[in-house]
């Protein structure tokens, strides 16, 4: 990595009239702070949130707040490397937290600019309504709530339900483009049923004058279907199997800025190392193992969360058969900005 150069102006001490004039005018001499063109991206260290430490806090969170007053009952994951920014971040462009509902509770309808998703880690019997469409929630299910969509949660199960929320709020906030509407929502146009998208290569078309949304018309991706698809996927040379959750109408990501994957690992084998300019974090959907991330090693167990900061060499190794990592990334942001770079170890 090229070092920062310090090219002082010839025969111009820092307190001279030239520097004083620049300060008054609100300009600086770029050559005094020039960064070499060979400089590579810098990234924070990986962070981990252990389920064993978070799980005891869930019941305390329920006791501490009521859904009559709370917009959402969420324990946000906090990364101190981003304390200089507003709000909580997990890694660059992404934030996350664990949300809890007890039987009979509901979270009122609202919408916001940021894209969001929910991955259920515990329980069954929950429902998320997205633009009026009910989506059942059980362990391992993924529910998307695209930016601008009205969504509300309810729970009719017998025990608490817990899911991981993931959003691109830090990116939207950086652009100062975050809006929030508390509802109530209006009437929703009818949406095609999910089985309208089950035939490969055939999808419903919008009506005259209607635009195809940028997000997936499938708001729910079931765990059983994902596991079955993962089993049918051809293994890579390192034994891993990788699925992308996609928009069936376009073949692209489920939402325009959030790109999510499921990585299946073969026990005892290390994946091929890679590094990329995009950021990600993993929720351990099943199993246990460890990941080499830059110069650090993260040992993980089921329901732990850990980050994959950009431009670190990354490799995973499962200690148990059938380990699965649910991966949330900002890859699509980097790709759309022509800033995506990916390298793999030979």
- 302, two tokens: 């089921």
Higher-pLDDT residue of 302 and 192 is 302
Higher-pLDDT residue of 1 and 19 is 19
pLDDT confidence of residue 282? 99
pLDDT confidence of residue 182? 92
Q: What is the mean pLDDT of residues 240-264?
A: 96
Query: 3-class DSSP state for residue 160?
Result: coil
Is pLDDT of 160 > 50? yes
pLDDT confidence of residue 104? 97
Is pLDDT of 144 > 90? yes
Tokens 């830090």 belong to residue: 170
In DSSP notation, 239-290 reads S-EEEE-B-TTTSSBSSSS-EEEEEEE-BT-BPPPEEESS-EEEEEEE--EE
Is pLDDT of 75 > 60? yes
Domains of the chain (ranges; CATH) run: 48-185+215-344 (2.60.120.10)
**Burial class of 89 by CB neighbour count within 10 A (0 to 12, 13 to 18, 19+):** buried
Residue 124: beta bridge partners? 138
- Provide φ and ψ at 58, rounded to 5°: -65, -50
pLDDT confidence of residue 4? 45
User: pLDDT by residue (tens digit) across 37-72?
Assistant: 557 888 889 999 999 999 999 999 999 999 999 999
Q: At 12, is the pLDDT very low, low, confident or very high (cuts 50, 70, 90)? A: low
Is pLDDT of 34 > 80? no
The rounded mean pLDDT for the chain is 91
pLDDT confidence of residue 191? 78
User: pLDDT by residue (tens digit) across 328-340?
Assistant: 999 999 999 999 9
Q: At 219, is the pLDDT very low, low, confident or very high (cuts 50, 70, 90)? A: very high
- Provide φ and ψ at 322, rounded to 5°: 80, 15
pLDDT confidence of residue 178? 94
Q: What is the mean pLDDT of residues 24-49?
A: 83
Count other C-beta atoms under 10 Å from residue 57's C-beta. 13
pLDDT confidence of residue 5? 47
Share of the chain above pLDDT 70, in %: 91
Is pLDDT of 232 > 70? yes
Is residue 43 within 8 A of residue 309, CB to CB? The reply is yes
How far is the first Cα of the chain from the last one, in angstroms, to the nearest whole number?
21
User: pLDDT by residue (tens digit) across 161-215?
Assistant: 999 999 999 999 999 999 999 988 777 777 777 777 776 777 777 667 667 788 9
Distances in Å between the Cα of 214 and the Cα atoms of 65, 107, 135, 245, 331 are 36, 26, 19, 14, 16
Is pLDDT of 300 > 60? yes
Q: What is the mean pLDDT of residues 228-255?
A: 96
Distances in Å between the Cα of 163 and the Cα atoms of 98, 122, 155 are 6, 7, 12
């Amino acid at each position: 990595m090229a070092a920062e150069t310090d090219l002082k102006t010839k025969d111009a001490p820092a307190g001279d009239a030239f520097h004083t004039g620049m300060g008054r005018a609100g300009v600086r001499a770029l050559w005094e702070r020039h960064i070499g063109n060979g400089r590579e991206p810098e990234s924070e260290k990986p962070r981990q949130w252990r389920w064993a430490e978070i799980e005891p806090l869930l019941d305390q969170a329920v006791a501490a707040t009521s859904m009559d007053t709370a917009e959402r009952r969420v324990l946000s994951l906090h990364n101190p490397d981003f304390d200089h920014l507003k709000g909580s971040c997990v890694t660059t462009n992404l934030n996350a937290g664990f949300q809890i509902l007890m039987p009979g509770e509901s979270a009122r309808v609202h919408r916001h600019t940021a894209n969001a998703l929910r991955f259920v880690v515990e329980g069954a019997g929950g429902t998320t309504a997205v633009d009026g469409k009910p989506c059942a929630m059980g362990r391992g299910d993924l529910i998307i709530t695209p930016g601008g969509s009205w969504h509300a949660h309810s729970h009719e199960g017998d025990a608490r339900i817990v899911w991981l929320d993931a959003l691109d709020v830090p990116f939207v906030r950086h652009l100062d483009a975050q809006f929030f509407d508390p509802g109530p929502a209006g009437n929703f146009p009818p949406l095609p049923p999910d089985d309208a998208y089950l035939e490969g290569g055939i999808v419903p078309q919008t009506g005259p004058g209607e635009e195809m949304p940028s997000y997936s018309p499938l708001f729910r991706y079931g765990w059983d279907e994902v596991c079955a698809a993962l089993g049918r996927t051809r293994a890579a040379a390192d034994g891993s199997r990788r699925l992308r959750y996609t928009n069936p109408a376009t073949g692209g990501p489920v939402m325009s800025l959030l790109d999510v994957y499921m990585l299946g690992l073969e026990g005892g084998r290390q994946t091929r190392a890679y590094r990329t300019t995009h950021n990600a974090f993993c929720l351990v959907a099943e199993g246990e193992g460890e990941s080499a991330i830059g110069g650090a090693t993260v040992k993980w167990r089921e329901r732990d969360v850990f980050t994959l900061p950009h431009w670190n060499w990354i490799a995973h190794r499962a200690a148990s058969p059938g380990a699965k990592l649910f991966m949330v990334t900002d890859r699509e942001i980097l790709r759309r900005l022509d800033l995506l770079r990916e390298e793999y170890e030979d």
